[in-house]
């Protein structure tokens, strides 16, 4: 086998999508040994945890994984497996390419953006203190009148280390993938200290790539307006965690939404590829949902494995099937009740036939 990859089918519609994705990747001819590792709801019932160590051990061993979505129970129940994976494996970069394919209904056509989001710090570090807790009172005191006595408080850590490694990741990605520009996005006119450090670090990193990749900066609010007015002007966008969470969904919306948006979470030597959508529980087992997002995540995985020719061939086949608009799932038809819509398996088969 040329590569061994951990395959986590997930739950809800995950297993159907994983099967379709494995089939099209195998059809490229790239030899992959799939190490299937279950995680999620059913595993919780059997093994008492939704993310057993065997799954993490397999990913650590193989360095590359592709996963279907996993349900996170609301309110009580277990914590998000997706978040736990990112933390346990220090997958510090969230990569979300947002490219429009002809045939996908969207308000915009000329969009080919890549959002790189920092995954480990910012307001998502989870350092929060309830109102009137001893810690909150301490911080209120330190703030010298700038915070109300009864405030709940979230801390926003931004470090030079994490900023350097995420911006460097964005530049490396740009360089390796023939991209021309990296835009750093934050808001240092208001968060002068934290976002100020992010931009200062980004400028230092940009110097390391001078003459190879261009660099510019936007404030996050202005960037949102730019993206919905002139998305074609931008290329790779890099930002701290919270802005990245919001802008990556905005950019997914620009290209037609959840069904077609791939992603990856990447660390120093480990990468986990996954669609950005969830487990769509109401469609479980119905062979109905769109496999495109997970298949395009597979395209990213093939590129990551150095299988660029196979990745291009698979991406072109996906693009051709979408452009034809015949063998596509219900969500890609102009009318969602269109009886000519095909199922997950049939769309995957059409993609294989195109290759
Ligand atoms: P969702 O993405 O599952 O569904 C949102 C909407 O999009 C639904 O109408 C769904 O039917 C539709 N949809 C999703 N994927 C589709 C596809 N491939 N083709 C066609 N339609 C599709 O989001 P949700 O309902 O908020 O979440 C459901 C569960 O998934 C939750 O438990 C959530 O925590 C989990 N989730 C997991 C991940 C992950 O594993 N990375 C990501 C997001 C949500």
For ligand 1, atom 4, the nearest C-alpha belongs to: 280
Q: Is 77 exposed, middle or buried (0-12, 13-18, 19+ CB in 10 A)?
A: exposed
How many angstroms does the Cα of residue 296 sit away from the middle of ligand 1? 16
Q: Is the dihedral of CA 260, 175, 355, 28 positive or negative?
A: negative
CA-CA distance, 141 to 151, in Å (whole number)?
12
CB 110 within 8 A of CB 137: no
Respond yes or no: is residue 187 known to be catalytic: yes
pLDDT, position 32: 98
Given a cut of 80, is residue 1 above it in pLDDT? Answer: no
For ligand 1, atom 31, the nearest C-alpha belongs to: 71
Task: Catalytic residue, from 92, 101, 124, 234: name it.
Answer: 124
SS3 of residue 8 by DSSP: strand
Given a cut of 90, is residue 77 above it in pLDDT? Answer: no
Rounded mean pLDDT, 3-11? 97
Q: How large a percentage of the chain has pLDDT more than 70? A: 99
Rounded mean pLDDT, 58-65? 98
Task: Please provide the average confidence, as pLDDT, over all residues in the chain.
Answer: 95
CB 253 within 8 A of CB 221: no
How many angstroms does the Cα of residue 279 sit away from the middle of ligand 1? 5
Per residue in 222-234, pLDDT (tens digit) is: 999 999 999 999 9
pLDDT, position 126: 83
Confidence band, pLDDT 50/70/90 cuts, at residue 31: very high
CB 151 within 8 A of CB 140: yes
CA-CA distance, 215 to 235, in Å (whole number)?
10
Residue of 68, 114, 109 whose CA lies nearest to 244: 114
For ligand 1, atom 26, the nearest C-alpha belongs to: 278
pLDDT, position 124: 87
Confidence band, pLDDT 50/70/90 cuts, at residue 257: confident
Respond yes or no: is residue 215 known to be catalytic: no
- DSSP result, 13-73: THHHHHHHHHHHHHHTT--EEEEE---SHHHHHHHSSSS-HHHHHHHHHHSEEEE------
CB 300 within 8 A of CB 67: no
Per residue in 300-355, pLDDT (tens digit) is: 999 999 999 999 999 999 999 999 999 999 999 988 899 999 999 999 999 999 99
**Which residue among 8, 273, 278, 333 has the greatest number of ligand 1 atoms within 8 angstroms of its CB, and so is best to mutate?**
278
Cα–Cα distances in Å, from 69 out to 6, 264, 268, 332?
14, 12, 23, 20
**Helical H runs in the chain?**
14-27, 41-47, 53-62, 81-88, 134-142, 160-176, 194-208, 220-229, 241-254, 292-304, 308-324, 344-354
CA-CA distance, 154 to 140, in Å (whole number)?
12
The pairing of strands 64-67 and 112-118 is unpaired
CA-CA distance, 65 to 35, in Å (whole number)?
9
How many angstroms does the Cα of residue 134 sit away from the middle of ligand 1? 38
Respond yes or no: is residue 245 known to be catalytic: yes
Of residues 109 and 63, the one with the higher pLDDT is: 63
Contact residues for 192 (Cβ-Cβ < 8 A; gap 6+): none
Given a cut of 90, is residue 76 above it in pLDDT? Answer: no
**Which residue among 10, 68, 82, 277 has the greatest number of ligand 1 atoms within 8 angstroms of its CB, and so is best to mutate?**
277
CA-CA distance, 213 to 236, in Å (whole number)?
10
- H helix or E strand, kind and range, residue 275: strand 271-275
CB 101 within 8 A of CB 262: no
CA-CA distance, 198 to 163, in Å (whole number)?
6
Residue of 241, 267, 248, 246 whose CA lies nearest to 121: 241
Task: Catalytic residue, from 112, 164, 245, 249: name it.
Answer: 245
HSE value, Cβ hemisphere, 13 Å, CA-based, for 140: 16
Per residue in 161-190, pLDDT (tens digit) is: 999 999 999 999 999 999 999 999 999 999
Respond yes or no: is residue 110 known to be catalytic: no
User: Among the atoms of ligand 1, which is closest to the Cα of residue 331?
Assistant: 20
Given a cut of 90, is residue 133 above it in pLDDT? Answer: yes
How many angstroms does the Cα of residue 143 sit away from the middle of ligand 1? 40
**Which residue among 85, 119, 258, 259 has the greatest number of ligand 1 atoms within 8 angstroms of its CB, and so is best to mutate?**
258
User: Among the atoms of ligand 1, which is closest to the Cα of residue 292?
Assistant: 18
**Which residue among 69, 79, 83 has the greatest number of ligand 1 atoms within 8 angstroms of its CB, and so is best to mutate?**
69
Ligand 1 pocket (Cβ < 6 Å) reads 69-72, 82, 258-259, 274, 277-281, 283, 289-290, 293, 331
């Amino acid at each position: 086998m040329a590569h061994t990859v951990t395959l986590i089918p997930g739950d809800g519609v995950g297993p159907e999508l994983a099967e379709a994705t494995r089939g099209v990747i195998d059809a490229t001819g790239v030899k992959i040994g799939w190490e299937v590792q279950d995680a999620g709801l059913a595993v919780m019932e059997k093994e008492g945890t939704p993310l057993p160590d065997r799954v993490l051990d397999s990913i650590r061993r193989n360095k590359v994984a592709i996963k279907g979505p996993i349900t996170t129970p609301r309110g009580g129940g277990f914590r998000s497996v997706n978040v736990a994976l990112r933390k346990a494996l220090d997958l510090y970069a969230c990569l979300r390419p947002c490219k429009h394919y002809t045939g996908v209904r969207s308000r915009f056509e000329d969009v080919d953006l890549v959002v790189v989001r920092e995954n480990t710090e910012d307001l998502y570090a989870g350092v929060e203190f309830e109102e009137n807790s001893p810690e909150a009172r301490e911080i209120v005191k330190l703030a010298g009148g700038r915070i109300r006595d009864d405030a709940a408080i979230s801390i926003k850590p931004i470090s030079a280390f994490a900023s350097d490694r995420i911006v460097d990741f964005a530049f490396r990605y740009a360089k390796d993938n023939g991209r021309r520009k990296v835009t750093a996005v934050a808001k240092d006119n208001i968060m002068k200290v934290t976002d100020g450090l992010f931009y200062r670090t980004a400028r230092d990193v940009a110097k390391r790539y001078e003459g190879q990749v261009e660099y510019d900066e936007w404030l996050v609010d202005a960037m949102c307006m730019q993206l919905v007015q002139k998305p074609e002007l931008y290329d790779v966008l890099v930002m701290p965690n919270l802005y990245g969470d919001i802008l990556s969904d905005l950019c997914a919306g620009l290209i037609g939404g959840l069904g077609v948006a791939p992603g990856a979470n990447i660390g120093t030597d480990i990468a986990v590829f996954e669609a950005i959508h969830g487990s769509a529980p109401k469609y479980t087992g119905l062979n109905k949902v769109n496999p495109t997002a997970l298949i395009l995540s597979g395209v990213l995985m093939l590129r990551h494995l150095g299988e660029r020719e196979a990745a291009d061939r698979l991406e072109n086949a996906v693009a051709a099937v979408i452009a034809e608009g015949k063998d596509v799932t219900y969500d890609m038809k102009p009318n969602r009740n269109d009886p000519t819509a095909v199922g997950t398996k049939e769309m995957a088969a059409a993609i294989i036939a195109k290759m």
